[in-house]
Structure 1
Amino acid sequence: MNRFSRMPFFVQLMLVSGGAMLVPAFYALILREWDDARAFLYPSVLVCSLAGFIAIALFRPEATEARDGRRDRDREGRNQLLTLLGTYTALPLVLAVPFVEATQDTTFLNGYFEMVSALTTTGATLFDDPARLSRPEHLWTALVAWLGGLFAWVTAVAVLAPLNLGGFEVISSRQPGQSDARASQITRIAAAPERMARFTTKLFPIYIGLTLALWFALAMVGSPAFVALIHAMSVMSTSGISPVGGLTNTRTGFVGELLIFAFLFLALSRKTFTADNPRPDAPPLWRDPEMKIGLALMVAVPLLLFLRHWVAVLEVSGDWTFGRALSSLWGSMFMVLSFLSTAGFESMGWEEARLWSGLQAPGVLLMGLAIFGGGVATTAGGVKLLRLYALVRHGEREIEKLVSPHSVGGAGANARRIRREGAYVAWVYFMVFAFTIAGVMMLLALLGLDFERAAIFTISALTTTGPLVRVAGTDPMSYAALTDPMKLVLAGTMVLGRLEMLAIIALLNPEFWRR
Structure 2
Amino acid sequence: MNRFSRMPFFVQLMLVAGAAMMVPAIYGLVIRQHDDARAFFYAGVLLMSLAGMIAIARARPEATADRDTRRDRDREGRNQLMTLLLTYTVLPVFLAVPFAEATQNTTFFNAYFEMVSSLTTTGATLFDDPERLSRTVHLWRALVGWLGGLFAWVTAIAVLAPLNLGGFEVLSARQVGQGSSSATQIIRVAAGPERLARYTARLFPIYLGLTVGLWFALAMVGGAPYVALCHAMSVLATSGISPVGGLTGSSAGILGEGLVFAFLFLALSRKTFSVDDVRKDALPLYRDPEMKIGLVLLVVLPTLLFIRHWGGALEVERVWDVPAALSSLWGGIFMVMSFLTTAGFESASWEEARMWSGLQAPGVLLLGLAIFGGGVATTAGGVKLLRLYALVRHGEREIEKMISPNSVGGAGALARRIRRQGAYVAWVYFMFFAFTIAAVMMILSLFGIHFEEAAVYTVAALTTTGPLVHVAAEVPYSFADLGTWPKAVLAATMVLGRLELLAMIALINPDFWRR
TM-score in terms of structure 1 length: 0.99
SS at match of 2:53: helix
Question: 3-state SS of the aligned residue for 1:449?
Answer: coil
Query: 1:348-385: per-residue Cα shift (whole Å, max 9, x none)?
Result: 11111100000000000000000000000000000000
Name the counterpart of 1:154. Answer: 154
1:248 is matched with which residue?
A: 248
Aligned to 1:140: 140
Q: For residue 73 of structure 2, what is the aligned residue in structure 1?
A: 73
Contact 2:306 2:329 in 1 (8 A): yes
Q: Distance in 2 between matches of 1:316 and 1:219?
A: 39
Asked whether the equivalents of residues 158 and 187 of structure 1 are also in contact (C-alpha less than 8 Å), the reply is no
Q: In structure 2, how many angstroms separate the alpha carbons of the residues matched to 1:281 and 1:385?
A: 20
Match of 2:317 in 1: 317
Gaps spanning 5+ residues in structure 2: where?
A: none
Q: Distance in 1 between matches of 2:284 and 2:15?
A: 40
Helix, strand or coil at the partner of 2:346: coil
Q: Residue by residue, what CA displacement relative to the aligned partner does 1:58-108 show, whole Å, maximum 9, x if unpaired?
A: 011121111111111111101110110011000000000000000011000
Check conservation: 1:11, 1:55, Cα contact below 8 A.
Answer: yes
CA contact (8 A) 1:163 1:179 kept: yes
Partner residue in 2 for 1:357: 357
CA drift at 1:321 = 0.9
Which residue in the other structure is 1:446 paired with? Answer: 446
Find the aligned partners of 2:320 and 2:481 in 1 and give their Cα distance: 39
> For residue 366 of structure 1, what is the amino acid of its counterpart?
L
Q: Given residue 203 of structure 1, which amino acid in structure 2 is its aligned partner?
A: L
Q: Hey, what's the Cα distance between the residues in 2 that align with 1:283 and 1:399?
A: 26
Matched, 1:199 2:229: no
Whole-Å separation in 1 of the counterparts to 2:462 and 2:257:
26
CA distance in 1, matches of 2:281, 2:126: 49
Taking the TM superposition and a 5 Å limit, the aligned residue runs for 1:84-483 are 84-183=84-183, 186-278=186-278, 283-483=283-483
Counterpart Cα distance in 1 of 2:359 and 2:304: 14
Structure 2: distance between partners of 1:226 and 1:37: 16
Deviations 1:458-494 (A, max 9, x none): 0000000000000000111100000000000000000
- The aligned amino acid for 1:363 is G
- Counterpart code for 2:169: E
Equivalent residues of 2:150, 2:207 under 8 A apart: yes
Is 2:456–2:469's contact at 8 Å kept on the other side of the alignment?
A: yes
TM-score by length of 2: 0.99
Aligned identity (percent) is 74
Q: Which whole-Å deviations, capped at 9, do the CAs of 1:236-263 have from their partners, x for residues lacking one?
A: 0000011111111111111110000000
**C-alpha displacement of 1:278:** 4.6
Q: Tell me how far 1:279 sits from its aligned partner.
A: 7.9
Q: Given that residues 294 and 385 in structure 1 are in contact (C-alpha distance below 8 angstroms), is that contact kept between their aligned partners in structure 2?
A: yes
- Alignment coverage as a number of residue pairs: 515
Which residue number corresponds to residue 508 of structure 1?
508
Q: CA deviation at 1:283?
A: 4.4
Shift, 1:306, TM fit: 0.4
What's the Cα RMSD here? 1.2
Distance across 2 between alignment mates of 1:405 and 1:314: 47
Q: Name the CA distance, whole Å, in 2 between partners of 1:254 and 1:218.
A: 11
Check whether the contact 1:319–1:356 (CA below 8 A) recurs between aligned residues.
no
Residue of structure 1 equivalent to 2:10 = 10
| Post-superposition CA distance 1:35-62 (Å, at most 9, x none) | 0011101111100000000000001112
Specify the code of the residue in structure 1 equivalent to 2:214. L
Partners of 1:276 and 1:194 in 2: CA distance: 16
Alignment pair present for 1:486 and 2:486: yes
Measure, in 2, the Cα distance between the counterparts of 1:191 and 1:396. 42
1:48 maps to 48
Alpha-carbon distance, 1:185 to partner = 5.5
The verdict on how the C-alpha distance between 1:357 and 1:264 changes in structure 2, with shifts beyond 3 A counting, is same
**What one-letter code is carried by the residue in structure 2 that aligns with 1:195?**
R
- Rounded to whole Å, the distance in 2 between the matches of 1:68 and 1:435 is 40
Q: Distance in 2 between matches of 1:284 and 1:182?
A: 21
Corresponding letter in the other structure for 2:5 = S
4+ aligned runs moved over 6 Å, structure 1 = 279-282
8 Å CA contact 1:267, 1:379 repeated in 2: yes
In structure 1, C-alpha distance between the alignment counterparts of 2:185 and 2:211, rounded to whole Å? 31
**CA positional deviation for 1:184:** 7.6
